[in-house]
Chains A and B, each alone.
Chain A
Amino acid sequence: MSTTTPDTRSDASAVLVGEHGGRLPAPIPGERPTSGTSFGRLVHVELRKMLDTRAGRWLLIALGVVIAGALTILFVQQGGDHPFGTYLQATTMPMAILLPVVGIMAVTSEWSQRTALVTFTLEARRTRVAWAKVVAALLVGVAAVVFSFALGAAAHAAAIGLRGAEGDWTFTWTALLGAAGYVLLGLLQGLGFGMLLRNTPAAIVLYYVLPTGWSILGSLWSQAEKAGQWLDMNRTMEPLFSGSLTGEQWAQLATSVGVWVALPLTVGMWWITRAEVK
C-alpha cells in the first residue's frame, strides 16, 4: 500500500488507485491455490444456480401453488377426512411431476444461456461439474421429499384438529422410500435428457411426451405394449408407491432406468467432456 493511496470515492478497501490514475483491484493476500476447486463448492454453486434464476423461482412458485391447491381440495372435501397417505400423495405427486424440469434446466440453461462458457472455465474438469449437477439435483429431490412429508403431516394434523377429521397415520416406510425414489429418478431422468439434448424445449417436451407416447404405441401395437412393461418408466416406477416390488418388477425398473436414466447420463457426460463450448 506504500505506492498507492486509498480511493476517496470509495470506502472499499480492496480498490486501489494505480499509477495511471485508474482504480485497480487489490491483490488477494496469500499464495495462489495449488489445489483444485473442491467438489463441495461445486455442488454448492450448482445448487444455488438451480434456484437463483427467474425461471427457477417461478418453477418453485408454481409447485407451491399446485401443492397448496391439492391440499386445499383435500382439506375441504369430505370434511378433510382422508388418511395421511392421501395427503402425502397430494404433496409428493406435484413434486414428482414438476421437479424433473429443475434437472433438465440445470443442464440445458448452460447451453441456451451460454453460461457453460463461464462454468467450464472456472472448473475445467467438466465431468466434475456434471457430477456436481447430479448431486445437487439429488439434494433438491431429498429436500423436496422431506418437505412434502412434513407438509403432508401438517395438513393431516390440521384436518384432525380444525375439521375434526379422523386421524389415520398409517403409512409404510417402503412406500415413502418408493415415493422418494420416484422423485429422485425423475430428477435424474431430467438431467440425463438435458445432457443428451442440451435444449430446454426439446428435453421438456420429450420428457413429458414419452409416457403418452408409450400408451399410444401400446394401444396400437401389442409388441410395444409388452416392451412398455420393461421400458415405460411411468409403469415400471408405479410399484414403488405401493412399496413392494417383485423380482420381475425390479428387473423391469432397472431396465427402464438403464435406458432412460443411465444411458442418457452416460452419453451426455461423454459428450460434455468432448464438446466445443461456444
Chain B
Amino acid sequence: MTISREDIEKVAVLARIRLDEEQIPALENDLGNILSLVDQLSAADTDSVEPLAHPLDAVQRLRTDDVTETNQREAFQAIAPATEDGLYLVPRVIE
C-alpha cells in the first residue's frame, strides 16, 4: 500500500500539524514504509484470533461514586497562558 500526497495533507490537517512543502516527499517515504509493515502484519492468518481491545489480559477496575477532587483552579490557572473570571481563554473559536 502506498500513501499519496493528498493523504498526507489530509492527515496533517486532521492532526493540526503544519507541513512545509519540502517535508512531504520524506514523509511520503517514511509513512509508506510503515504501511508496508502493516501490510505484512495483515498477511498473517487471524481467522481464529479474537480482536484484542487491550494488550493486558486484565479487567478494568471501577471507582465508587465519591467526590475526591478539591478545587485546584488557582494552581492550574497559574500555568495557563490566559485566564479571566475563572475561565481559560483561547483564540476565538468560530463555528
Is chain B a partner of chain A in the same complex? no
Q: A residues bordering B, Cβ < 8 Å?
A: none
Binding site for A on B (CB under 8 A): none
